[in-house]
Structure 1
Amino acid sequence: MPPLKYIAHYSEQIQAQAGILISNGQLGDYLDKKYNDKHQIQSDKALYHYINELKNQYMRKSSSLTQVSYNSKLAVLQQALGIHTYQSRVQGNKLKSHNSITVASLFKEAPPEFLRMIVVHELAHFKEKEHNKAFYQLCCHMEPDYHQFELDTRLWLLWRDL
């Protein structure tokens, strides 16, 4: 059986269940049955509008979103599926902050729930820089099924590697 690198930190029970699905050739069927839709957010402009809508719904008071893009080299170069960058600048007597989000291009092919999970994760970094309890509470506030979508995204990545 191939190494379960995306779910290595999950419990042995979850890893065993995933291993059974993989060895029986059923992981793809499991994911297709559960997530059979594809989203239409294919351009950087559409992604910007999607992310900005979520940000305005849940985090109105946080700094503005300045740039959003898909990046085909993201997963390969930095072992990341999404990146949030933050920059503060002094303009006159005010401190202006700029936030940008980059999402791996492979999410153009992903179910909408997986794209939402990545976007929610990166938006949560606007307020919480570290992956701590407050960070995950914010993720769950924006997406109540965040943890399930994260696990299923990792399973989807495993399936893609097979």
Structure 2
Amino acid sequence: MTAPLKYLGAYSDDTRHQVQALLNQNRLGEVLKKRYPKAHDVRNDRALYDYVQDLRDEFLRNAAPIDKVLFDSKIHVINHALGLHTSISRIQGGKLKAKHEIRVATMFRECPIEFLRMIAVHELAHVKEKQHDKAFYKLCTYMEPHYHQYEFDVRLYLTELEHSGQRLW
């Protein structure tokens, strides 16, 4: 293998070898484009807010409301963040109130809807489950049954982007 595949470090040697072979043949992007032919149309913060709210209303009706959702150009995938969930606590009239914000890396403004859904589901799951534990991933797969496949494919996309420097969508 040539360069380490930093986004795929937790996967098996066999998987990493297969990905490296696709990279060596310059075919990884082609494989991803065939699987996900087009980008989503959630292009602005309002559309992203509506998209995440629809997911929340469908799967997490009893969870705390989401106050802000936006694309954030300050999130760098290099730091292993695709999105962020923050909870800001404030005292209002003697009560402690938490405001929940979800931020998605701007690079996902142009990607397949499956990638955006995986990130939105991940960040929404943090509203109920703070840690990346069994309960967290169970909630993710409840909201998106193909969650793990989409997460893997996002990792493939990040690997391809690092290798070629070219966005696919």
- Match of 1:6, SS state, is helix
Deviations 1:93-120 (CA, angstroms, capped at 9, x unpaired): 5432210000000001111100100000
- Match of 1:3, SS state, is coil
Instruction: Report the CA distance between 1:92 and its aligned residue.
Output: 2.9
Q: 1:23 to 1:77 in 2, by over 3 A?
A: closer
2:54 corresponds in structure 1 to 53
1:119 corresponds in structure 2 to 120
Asked if 1 retains the 8 angstrom alpha-carbon contact of 2:77 and 2:105, the reply is no
Instruction: Report the CA distance between 1:81 and its aligned residue.
Output: 0.9
What's the % identity of the aligned pairs? 47
The answer as to 2:145 corresponding to 1:144 is: yes
Q: Aligned partners of 1:19 and 1:65: how far apart in 2? A: 40
The answer as to 2:102 corresponding to 1:101 is: yes
Instruction: Report the CA distance between 1:147 and its aligned residue.
Output: 0.3
Instruction: Report the CA distance between 1:77 and its aligned residue.
Output: 7.6
Deviations 1:69-96 (CA, angstroms, capped at 9, x unpaired): 1112211684411000012333335432
Q: Aligned partners of 2:159 and 2:153: how far apart in 1? A: 10
Q: What amino acid maps onto 2:85 in structure 1? A: H
TM-score, with normalisation over the residues of structure 1? 0.95
Q: Aligned partners of 2:142 and 2:135: how far apart in 1? A: 10
Cα RMSD (Å) of the superposition?
A: 1.4
- Match of 1:74, SS state, is coil
Instruction: Give the gaps of 5 or more residues in structure 2.
Output: 164-169
Q: 1:21 to 1:78 in 2, by over 3 A?
A: closer
Q: Aligned partners of 2:65 and 2:78: how far apart in 1? A: 27
Q: Aligned partners of 2:77 and 2:11: how far apart in 1? A: 23
Q: How many equivalent pairs are there?
A: 162
Correspondences of 1:57-136 after superposition (within 5 Å): 57-75=58-76, 78-136=79-137
Instruction: Report the CA distance between 1:4 and its aligned residue.
Output: 0.4
1:21 corresponds in structure 2 to 22
Q: 1:40 to 1:88 in 2, by over 3 A?
A: same
Query: More deviation in 14-23 or 82-91?
Result: 82-91
Q: Aligned partners of 2:61 and 2:96: how far apart in 1? A: 18
